[in-house]
Structure 1
Amino acid sequence: MKLLSKNILWGLAFLTVGVAWIFGLFIDLTGDAGLYAVISRQMVVSGDWLNLQINDELYDQKPHLLFWLAALGIELFGNLNFAFKLFPFLFALSSLWFVYQLGRLLFSQEAGLTAALIVGTSQMFFLYLLDIHTDTILQAGITLALWQLIAYLEKGKTGHFIWGFIGIGLAMLAKGPVGAVLPFFTVLIYLIVKKDFRQLFHPKWILGIMIVLVVISPTLWHLFQSFGWEGIRFYFITNNFGRVTGEYAGSSNDPFFYLYNMLWAFLPWTLIVLAALWFEIKSWFTSAKIHPARAAILGSVLILLFVYSISKGKAPHYFLIMVAPLAVVTAGHLPEFKNMALKRGRSFLCLQGLVLTVIFLVFIAVVFFLSEKLTWMPVFLLALLFVLSWVFTQKEQDSWKRLLFFSIIVTGVFNIFMNAEFIPGLFRYQGARQALEVFEENRKPGDKLYNFALVEYELFFMADETVEDIKVPQRLYKLLESDETWVYTNQIKLNDITRNMEYKIDTVYVIRQRGMNQLTRQFLNPGTREKSLTANYLIKAK
């Protein structure tokens, strides 16, 4: 009975995590996710699932996998946030199974479960399940490749070899050649540590490359048909090395960007991960025998982290592909953590408790200082947190298990509040959502909405009817001759229109807005939020 009650408590803790994930599926899109959603919707509308386009212009920036997954949801459920995110979300969740299997293969079932737990409840994983990027699915393909390739190196079975390169292909079909970097260096370092130099130059790797080329062939075909050899060059070279050098994108010179992003990315497990990395690197110099797979995984991450750190093009979501490999390395040091928890000195447990306390205080601060109004939800969640924590403490004496439970329940409750209430509240200020609400409320039969000089891709995705993006002023002036025309635009273009007196304007709606990629302290503070907003305009022709 006692075991059953503890299992129920664990189930409730994991339920909070799942509920937080699900709430994230319904949050509006912004930035890159909005762009990807438009391409996916237009793929469904056109029926062309091979040639990627955005507003009648060919698109070359990202490969097909994310768009296919998202378009499948849109085809089934329509142009809804949930529909766009559903299949990328499920694909991303598959990485938890791959992580579990890799940890189980190398260490133990408990290590596999711990690795999957760290990944699935890390703050970065929560974030990019609600804000879908190509990295959301890229990390799943890479994790599949790592699991299968290491299984092949350990067991020598052909099936693992094939699935390993299929994983690389899927990763490259998600974001390009970056999907091959971690698997390549993992295999290379593994064979060097094992001193198995014969395999390094075995012709079987050519077969692996051929498997990858088959998987990514739809993208290569689209790029060649649409852009010629320059499209192929862009995929393999420009879009990757150009970001490192800054020639194509990026201007950051901060070499520590990913190191301090790592501190929040792994919350609430940051301290545990950092300790594991210390144990692992220390073992390279103190142990008689280096664990080849663990050294290969961490070594490949360190190489990629170095390349990312010197790169001019930087973004937090680039770090997502390192979360799973580092979680596996961390889980490999599970015995050390258990021994630390059993010692009289409780300093490590106290430090982890401090991390959880900080997360809890952030939760309180968001509720009472950054929320526009208090609701029943945070009160209920806080009560749930306290009750489950107290009951579990009474039933579980193992300090390590208590630590895991408290970490899961705190981060689960925190992210339920963020995904169900706080973040959706901020997204209300996006201009596209407000403009569509005004248009739908005031439109008459035959009215049509247009976009002019604004880059808010969510507008094209969320609108029930197709919204045309006006590219030249002559097209705009022609449309303004009809009283069925609505135009969403900015202050500069509004001034140009109103100066031209031959076009009569019926109504100008002011859209006070803020993009979610432009968060500031002033915007986050409800007391100063209004001052942080800028104006776009929705024009009704007369």
Structure 2
Amino acid sequence: MKDSMSASERIFYRILLLMASLPILFTLPLDVIDIDSAQYAGIGRELVLSNDFFTLIDNGRRYLDKPILTFWTIATSFFFFGIGNIAFRIPAIFLSLLSVYSIYRITILSGGKERQGYLASISYLLAPGVYAMIVDPKIDVYLTAYLVFTYHFYYLGRKQNPNYFYMMYLMMSMGFITKGPISVFIPAISIGGDILFRRDWKLLLSMRLPTGIFVLVSLPALWCYFLYQNFNSYGPVFFLWIQSFGRFYREMYDIKFDPFYFYKSFSWAFFSGLVPMVIYLAFHSYQYIKSLGWKEILRKIRANEYKEVDFVIPFWVFLFLFLISFSRYPLPQYTYWVLPAAALYFGKIMEESLFQSNVARLRPSFLIAGLVYLVGYFLFPVFVSDVGILYYVFGAIGILFILLSAQLIPLEILVTLVGATLFFSAISLEFYPLLTSYQPSREFGSKIKELEPGEPVLYTYWMSNSKRSYGFYAERNFRNIYDKEKLDRLWMEKPERLMILPSEKLTQLQEMAGPDYEIIPVLEKDSYKVATPTISFLKKETRNLVTKKISLVWVKKKQGKSSKNSKV
């Protein structure tokens, strides 16, 4: 097999890359959902509207939980493109697609073939976890991109020019003020672990450590200074330690301990390549151990006979998954950080299994995920939502593409590519808009801006503080009304205001407000907690059983009336 690709092959693989990118590009106009994405969008909006770019404000209050770079990024996009859905999503999509290019380059720099680079890039785009972190952009989509850039510059420094190591440290520094020390911890255990395992002290000395550490600490030190100004010593301590490593021991993060949680999360996040990768690892590990034995393997390690093997990518995936399994604060997005490494490793498996190996036993396993995606695509209209004729036309075009291209590329790749592209595109174009229709915050926000322009606060009743999207789309902060005393005080200043509340609480609001107030409905919509949809919600037959109503109302104080409990 030739190491280089022909021009026609290269064009075809680039077409496949574009196809794999379509579901991500289709997310561009989608609404932000509660809580994290809407919260980050709101913080970015307040950064743009304020003159203080070093103090994060969330719903009118100082914010500490996450560092500043993500919010600077979102605010910059808002500044250039306007405050809205597209501007919010542009940075996440752009950095993710740029990291796809870096995955391709890492493959080439680490000794892989050009085709393997394309396969790794496609594998990354088709991973459910990658789609999940882009369709609902949180901090992790930015951290993952900076991690990929860190490894890209590491291999550039190792293979081409050691001065690239400075860019590696800068990417870690940017990751640090995105998510915290984890941006250093992951490269430390994979790159550092590889150097220690192979005892490659020459590489270590070439990595510009003294000056590189200065580059690394520069941005976190700057952010610590501003945190100290706002939160005293607790701000830097929280940023440098509690927010990241506290998840291993702090009671505030001790939700439950499941040592297999992150392995299960990784299984769905990398479902597109999981089955063949597990079979490949199990088979090759068994064969290698059987042929050599543990004693010979340990002797080779002691004799440093693996010094020419690159362990950076395997350590990034498997060593980190092992270590993170001790976290007592399980969140599935922690596994997203290893998806680039999994794609790089899987690209090698695909190149070896589908293009080089004569062993056909592994090949059927590559079809499993693609067939699941295709079945899911055609079952979507049956169980989830009615669709138009174009939905089936695109499905037929996808199957036709598989049949026509099977002579150019292995069927296993085509089935997974087309199946995942159709399935995730269906989510972007059909399911996600359906989902956000049960979070009517954008429609409510438009009506609020029309009826109550220029107001700084939106008032709510019996609404969770997690409903940040209503404040974002109304372009104002929101505050809950809990008692009549507060209602009287606020309505004394202005006798009529808009309010959002669950429709089932309308009677309770009227009872609390009393006869001095009139409640006039403006808008009512179906509502659901869309961030965590259940099976009952997904099924169209039972959806109306789990949804509720949410109302936008005028609360007006009747003229000539005054409350005995009001305070001036």
Query: Distance between the aligned counterparts of 2:477 and 2:108, measured in 1?
Result: 50
Query: Distance between the aligned counterparts of 1:232 and 1:226, measured in 2?
Result: 10
- Deviation per CA, 1:230-270, whole angstroms, max 9, x where unpaired? 11110111111221225232513222112122222123222
Q: Which residue in the other structure is 1:506 paired with? A: 519
Query: Distance between the aligned counterparts of 2:195 and 2:185, measured in 1?
Result: 16
Q: Which residue in the other structure is 2:364 paired with? A: 350
Determine whether 1:363 maps to 2:366.
no
Determine whether 1:117 maps to 2:117.
no
Determine whether 1:528 maps to 2:527.
no
Q: Secondary structure at the match of 1:450?
A: strand
Determine whether 1:29 maps to 2:51.
no
Residue pair 1:38, 1:460 contacting (<8 A) in 2 also: yes
Match of 2:273 among 269, 287, 301: 269
Q: Which residue in the other structure is 1:148 paired with? A: 153
Residue pair 2:439, 2:528 contacting (<8 A) in 1 also: yes
Query: Distance between the aligned counterparts of 1:11 and 1:111, measured in 2?
Result: 13
Q: Which residue in the other structure is 1:238 paired with? A: 242
Residue pair 2:316, 2:338 contacting (<8 A) in 1 also: no
Q: Which residue in the other structure is 1:418 paired with? A: 427
1:505 deviates by: 2.3
Deviates more, 1:425-434 or 1:180-189: 425-434
Residue pair 1:494, 1:537 contacting (<8 A) in 2 also: no
Q: Which residue in the other structure is 1:63 paired with? A: 67
Which residue identity lines up with residue 27 of structure 1 in the other structure? L
Determine whether 1:180 maps to 2:184.
yes
Which residue identity lines up with residue 265 of structure 1 in the other structure? A
1:314 deviates by: 1.3
Match of 1:519 among 508, 511, 533: 533
Query: Distance between the aligned counterparts of 1:58 and 1:378, measured in 2?
Result: 46
1:521 deviates by: 1.0
Determine whether 1:93 maps to 2:97.
yes
Determine whether 1:132 maps to 2:137.
yes
Deviates more, 1:525-534 or 1:198-207: 198-207
Query: Distance between the aligned counterparts of 1:117 and 1:105, measured in 2?
Result: 18
Match of 1:489 among 494, 501, 508: 501
In structure 2, the gaps of 5 or more residues are: 1-5, 557-568
| TM-score, normalising length: structure 2 | 0.85
Determine whether 1:252 maps to 2:265.
no
1:338 deviates by: 3.2
Query: Distance between the aligned counterparts of 2:393 and 2:232, measured in 1?
Result: 58
Q: Secondary structure at the match of 2:306?
A: coil
Residue pair 1:479, 1:485 contacting (<8 A) in 2 also: no
Report 1:203-242 matches (<5 A): 204-242=208-246
- Deviation per CA, 1:293-313, whole angstroms, max 9, x where unpaired? 642332243332123212111
Which residue identity lines up with residue 464 of structure 2 in the other structure? L
Which residue identity lines up with residue 234 of structure 1 in the other structure? F
Judged with a 3 Å threshold, the aligned counterparts in structure 2 of structure 1 residues 408 and 199 are, in CA distance, closer, same or farther, namely closer
Query: Distance between the aligned counterparts of 1:218 and 1:27, measured in 2?
Result: 34
Match of 1:107 among 82, 98, 111: 111
1:219 deviates by: 2.3
- Deviation per CA, 1:179-231, whole angstroms, max 9, x where unpaired? 11111112222222322357768995343221111133442222111111111
- Deviation per CA, 1:26-45, whole angstroms, max 9, x where unpaired? 22112211110000001001
Residue pair 1:39, 1:67 contacting (<8 A) in 2 also: yes
Residue pair 1:118, 1:327 contacting (<8 A) in 2 also: yes
RMSD value, Cα:
3.0
Judged with a 3 Å threshold, the aligned counterparts in structure 2 of structure 1 residues 211 and 375 are, in CA distance, closer, same or farther, namely same
Match of 1:451 among 456, 459, 465: 459
Residue pair 1:447, 1:484 contacting (<8 A) in 2 also: no
1:326 deviates by: 2.0
1:77 deviates by: 2.2
| TM-score, normalising length: structure 1 | 0.89
- Deviation per CA, 1:303-348, whole angstroms, max 9, x where unpaired? 32123212111111111110111222233345531367644x4x32
- Deviation per CA, 1:51-105, whole angstroms, max 9, x where unpaired? 1111221111111121111111211222211111102221222211221121111
In structure 1, the gaps of 5 or more residues are: none
Judged with a 3 Å threshold, the aligned counterparts in structure 2 of structure 1 residues 368 and 107 are, in CA distance, closer, same or farther, namely same
Which residue identity lines up with residue 259 of structure 2 in the other structure? P
- Larger-gyration structure (1/2): 2
Query: Distance between the aligned counterparts of 1:516 and 1:293, measured in 2?
Result: 46
Count of residue pairs the alignment pairs up: 530
Determine whether 1:42 maps to 2:56.
no
Judged with a 3 Å threshold, the aligned counterparts in structure 2 of structure 1 residues 272 and 520 are, in CA distance, closer, same or farther, namely same
Residue pair 1:486, 1:541 contacting (<8 A) in 2 also: yes
